């Protein structure tokens, strides 16, 4: 009948010894997160009463008859896995916290650390070097973008929990899988970049990059390996693309192409045109066009963080 969740007692409540047929193994010392007590369980011929079934998606009557509101094993499997969405939302949100901490440490250090300046002049802050800015500013901008993106995800998740709307469940599933995979991969790479941006001091345990990196690394794997999650996002995008052309009349295709071409035809490419006046750069219409242009050309979340970086760097230059 598919995968189901049960409550299985594992210890005798009086002696705290493991019950017959149950084995518990500690996972041992890990690379990080040793405050989390992970273990493995093995069950051999363990029998439990049918009342121990968590029966939201399927139930067994006293005379052994199975019933479910979901018609197929696949649908029940999807419903079970759907319960993991909450964990992914939490991980994406927590990963942004790691990013904020490491970027803050690296930017503050880069402001204080001084290196070679012009001849006969005082040394300059390493944050004045373009190479240092190119490392840190995109990460700073991405921290903002991910902060708002994960806040949006949390809001959609709580709506989903209240409404149980099927379309919303599918959207939140794809969004949480994509954001969890994208944000945690980005943060994992950024932690190393931030460490390098702080030079030798970045390697001192007191400056935290080592423990942050070790604790965060597994975020790319648990609650769903990132590669597998991205495959789920790809499957959902292909389904949406297919739905867009469902019905197959010429007008559906025509509308789709017209929508895509609108941005190309209505104004010069906002990134390439390079109008640099303050009024132009601060104009919300320009910023919206720039978002559209990047999303059309890159079609990925990467465009969001790239655009934020461009806007942020332009703001810094304007200031």
Ligand X SMILES: Cc1cc2nc3c(=O)[nH]c(=O)nc-3n(C[C@H](O)[C@H](O)[C@H](O)COP(=O)(O)OP(=O)(O)OC[C@H]3O[C@@H](n4cnc5c(N)ncnc54)[C@H](O)[C@@H]3O)c2cc1C
Q: Which residues bind ligand X (CB under 6 A)?
A: 30, 33, 38, 218, 221-222, 224-225, 227-228
**Residue 228 CB, nearest approach to ligand X (Å):** 5
SS (H, E, C) 268-298: CCHHHHCCCCHHHHHCHHHHHHHHHHHHHHH
Spell out the residues 6+ positions from residue 301 whose beta carbon is closer than 8 angstroms to its own: 149, 178, 179, 182
Alpha-carbon Rg for the chain, nearest whole angstrom, is: 26
Please give the structure tokens belonging to residue 285: 């219409």
Residues with catalytic annotation? 223
Of the pair 33, 273, the CB lying nearest ligand X is at 33
> Crossing angle of helices 130-163/85-112, nearest 10°?
160
Please give the structure tokens belonging to residue 57: 């998606």
**Residue 38 CB, nearest approach to ligand X (Å):** 5
Nearest of 204, 208, 216, 215 to residue 102 by alpha carbon: 208
Distance CA 125, CA 107 (A): 11
**Residue 176 CB, nearest approach to ligand X (Å):** 15
**Residue 214 CB, nearest approach to ligand X (Å):** 11
Of the pair 54, 252, the CB lying nearest ligand X is at 54
**Residue 103 CB, nearest approach to ligand X (Å):** 25
Of the pair 33, 94, the CB lying nearest ligand X is at 33
Of the pair 129, 222, the CB lying nearest ligand X is at 222
The Cα-based distances of 95 to 36, 48, 156, 278 in angstroms read 17, 38, 18, 34
Number of residue whose CB is nearest ligand X: 227
Decide: 60 and 52 in contact? Cβ < 8 Å.
no
Of the pair 218, 307, the CB lying nearest ligand X is at 218
SS3 36: coil
Please give the structure tokens belonging to residue 108: 């503050």
């Amino acid at each position: 009948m598919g995968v189901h969740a049960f409550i299985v007692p594992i210890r005798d409540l009086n002696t705290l010894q493991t019950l017959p047929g149950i084995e518990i193994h500690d996972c041992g010392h890990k690379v990080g997160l040793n405050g989390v007590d992970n273990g493995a369980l093995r069950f051999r011929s363990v029998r439990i009463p049918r009342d121990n079934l968590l029966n939201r998606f399927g139930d067994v009557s006293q005379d052994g008859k199975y019933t479910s509101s979901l018609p197929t094993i696949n649908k029940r499997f999807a419903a079970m896995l759907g319960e993991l969405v909450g964990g992914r939302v939490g991980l994406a949100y927590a990963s942004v916290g790691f990013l904020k901490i490491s970027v803050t440490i690296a930017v503050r250090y880069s402001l204080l650390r001084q290196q070679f300046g012009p001849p006969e002049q005082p040394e300059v802050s390493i944050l004045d070097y373009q190479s240092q800015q190119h490392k840190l500013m995109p990460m700073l901008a991405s921290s903002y973008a991910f902060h708002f993106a994960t806040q949006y995800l949390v809001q959609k998740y709580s709506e989903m929990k209240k409404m149980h709307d099927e379309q919303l469940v599918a959207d939140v599933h794809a969004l949480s899988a994509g954001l969890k995979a994208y944000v945690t991969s980005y943060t994992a790479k950024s932690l190393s970049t931030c460490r390098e941006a702080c030079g030798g001091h970045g390697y001192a345990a007191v400056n935290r990059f080592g423990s942050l990196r070790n604790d965060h690394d597994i975020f790319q794997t648990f609650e769903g390996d990132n590669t597998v999650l991205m495959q789920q996002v790809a499957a959902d995008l292909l389904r949406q693309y297919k739905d867009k052309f469902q019905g197959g009349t010429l007008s559906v295709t025509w509308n789709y192409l017209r929508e895509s071409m609108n941005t190309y035809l209505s104004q010069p490419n906002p990134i390439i045109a390079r109008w640099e006046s303050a009024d132009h750069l601060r104009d919300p219409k320009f910023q919206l066009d720039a978002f559209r242009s990047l999303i059309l050309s890159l079609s990925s979340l990467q465009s969001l963080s790239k655009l934020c970086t461009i806007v942020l760097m332009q703001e810094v230059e304007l200031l």
